[in-house]
Structure 1
């Protein structure tokens, strides 16, 4: 068998991109009152969301481009559903710089052509099969490390780890490569604040994945790399640079958001023991509980678009070339769409109308896998951690961030098995 390539670590091997998260995403306890104040000014407000939240600016964006924030559900959904006017080219500056020729930076017809090839692998019926073969073994192995202890930090010991373990397993990477892969993948996003680190991480993954693709072309298996290398529609295959970009982006687009979504759901359930008990007794509520967590405090609060022409939303003129901050966190808490939006309720009837996975042609291609992973993870926790509750001896969990949300710790106790 052909030897797998080796990943090269950062030159400064001590650099920890996980500690730099607050530079990019903020350390806000609750950004929603500020978002509500913005919405009171109108559904479309001039300004840069990052700047409004007191964050470092995205250094990759054109400094002379005007910014507009969309704050109502209707305005956000309109932008996401009108890609000819509100283009994904906004992501060329940051995601494109980090990941290369990503489908996230494309519009039709190019995006349409490549997305339909990706979708052949990510259809719900195929993704469901990964639940038993890929997700469950990762979840069970992680839980074995603490189910006998009677207490755990569910973030550092579980939710931070399991989605990335799923990705390593899907890619069939050697276990020893996991740490460096995770580190480089996260470090890529630092290009918005620490350009040289982001460029180095991107370059090292860029040299790794073509070699991995060549190895899987020569010796295909049933892993995700092999499946995507062989996927085609009408004889068209994914170009190598698009494949490399996808794998560079995968750990952030799939692993990071799933880690955050699972952490938010567990936090809110533990903060609402009555709803945790409802779910424990009626697992049919779990799909809607997942949607409500994604709505209530979705992992990504803001999405970006680029105005291709002079346009107008709700009476506000937006010039061509403007950067549009589509504030999904505002749309998901819009009282015109979600009654009593600041209340967490796993029985909310329209919870699945959230925009946390976007909408329109760029709706998240991995949304089905994220739901499968979250379902398997929550069921395992409910099954294996009886009498689960917050640890009264530890500080209560606090969701953090203005761009992406997560608790940094989630200390719990339970009856050991």
Structure 2
């Protein structure tokens, strides 16, 4: 479908949003010993998580705290009478827009979230697996299958969840490269001017796209969202545009990271990869274990609504509270031997998609994409193994985690 508006590039042609990952999210090879050391000091500590691990903090002159205990994390993520999502307004709100449901609290949050939930219910998302996800995955793999080797990040995981979104939105191919640059640039809060510029330009693009799809609706996600209603209400344009701005990051970026971590963990534990080859019913266990063991987003933010106490620590109203999902996911009281990747462990709910009313609305799509990707790997990349002649994959980051490369070899003929 042709676009109704020409997408606008960054004003500064030398700006590269893809270089922002390390600056914004850190490049620590293994933050977990540091996280464990912080938790040994207490389940709730003064200072933001970023400050506590040596990164610049974007919160401004407010009191900050870091939650490292799983019980305290559960409390902060689920008790909306005491903890708010308003802390995301200076960052996500300034680029995705103040209509982002990630910046809202109830009752406003619940009213609009119902519409998104209606579209992203498991029974609908599963249908996208065969119609959208599989063709994208197979198309990407076809490009490197004849070689018997690949970089699974550069040639596969970094591309396929974004390609899925392009197909869901029915974006013109001519717009895709600029669209991805703007989408990634939105979260470059170290370079806030470029992040806000990206939000403005994507907003202009999506408003034009919404107008075009309302005039000539199709089967794409923009048309569906523009037409869907709950209890007689449609999404306001502010909320719809904010959601579409956020989709690339919420659905694309986290899925790319989660899938990359999953494949890295399995390749580094070939006995577990072999177990899945022999019994694919283990795939859901493997996905949940990868999300627990090294989830794509380590920390989530809440703001204290009132003076309160958590973990025995007094939190004043207005304070920013970083809930470290990476610490809760490795709580030894919940997950025995938590630093070990083990797909055969008893499955218990993790914190990587958050908890409570703000639990990730796209979690079902993320699981479908990770499941389809792993099936395709098992179906097509026979005798898959790490390339011994190239550097081993390294999962890096303090805030968000991903390996830059996964160099592999596989048998070309089964």
Equivalent residue for 2:395, pick from 392, 395, 399: 399
Number of the residue aligned with 1:46: 46
Gaps of 5+ in 2: none
**1:176 CA displacement:** 1.9
Equivalent residue for 2:107, pick from 101, 106, 109: 109
**16-25 vs 238-247, greater mean Cα deviation:** 16-25
**Paired residue secondary structure (1:18):** helix
Q: Is 1:321 aligned to 2:318, yes or no? A: yes
**Paired residue secondary structure (1:393):** coil
**1:93 CA displacement:** 1.2
State how far apart, in whole Å, the 1-side matches of 2:240 and 2:282 are.
37
Number of the residue aligned with 1:123: 121
Alignment coverage as a number of residue pairs: 412
**Paired residue secondary structure (2:332):** coil
Q: Is 1:227 aligned to 2:224, yes or no? A: yes
On the 8 A contact 1:170/1:224 being kept in 2, the answer is yes
Number of the residue aligned with 1:257: 254
**Paired residue secondary structure (1:194):** helix
Number of the residue aligned with 1:371: 367
On the 8 A contact 2:292/2:330 being kept in 1, the answer is yes
Q: Is 1:305 aligned to 2:289, yes or no? A: no
Q: Is 1:245 aligned to 2:247, yes or no? A: no
Residue by residue over 1:110-159, the C-alpha shift from the partner in whole angstroms, topping out at 9 and shown as x without a partner, is: 00100111111111100000000010010000000001100000000000
State how far apart, in whole Å, the 1-side matches of 2:351 and 2:225 are.
27
**1:356 CA displacement:** 0.2
On the 8 A contact 2:3/2:171 being kept in 1, the answer is no
**Paired residue secondary structure (2:22):** helix
Number of the residue aligned with 2:329: 332
Q: How does 1:98-247 map to 2 (within 5 A)?
A: 98-100=95-97, 101-190=99-188, 192-247=189-244
State how far apart, in whole Å, the 2-side matches of 1:247 and 1:369 are.
15
State how far apart, in whole Å, the 2-side matches of 1:393 and 1:280 are.
24
**1:3 CA displacement:** 5.0
State how far apart, in whole Å, the 1-side matches of 2:314 and 2:57 are.
24
**43-52 vs 121-130, greater mean Cα deviation:** 43-52
State how far apart, in whole Å, the 1-side matches of 2:81 and 2:200 are.
32
Q: Residues 336 and 2 of structure 1: is their aligned pair in 2 closer, same or farther, counting only changes over 3 Å? A: closer
On the 8 A contact 1:23/1:56 being kept in 2, the answer is no
On the 8 A contact 2:3/2:172 being kept in 1, the answer is no
Number of the residue aligned with 1:267: 264
On the 8 A contact 1:338/1:350 being kept in 2, the answer is no
Number of the residue aligned with 1:18: 18
Q: Is 1:415 aligned to 2:382, yes or no? A: no
Q: What is the RMSD computed on CA atoms of the aligned residues? A: 1.0
Residue by residue over 1:159-205, the C-alpha shift from the partner in whole angstroms, topping out at 9 and shown as x without a partner, is: 00000000000000011211111100111111x21111111111111
State how far apart, in whole Å, the 2-side matches of 1:247 and 1:13 are.
24
Residue by residue over 1:287-309, the C-alpha shift from the partner in whole angstroms, topping out at 9 and shown as x without a partner, is: 11000000000000000000010
Number of the residue aligned with 1:343: 340
State how far apart, in whole Å, the 1-side matches of 2:61 and 2:13 are.
36
On the 8 A contact 2:45/2:67 being kept in 1, the answer is yes
Q: Is 1:70 aligned to 2:67, yes or no? A: yes
Q: TM-score, normalised by structure 1?
A: 0.97
**1:4 CA displacement:** 2.7
Number of the residue aligned with 2:93: 96
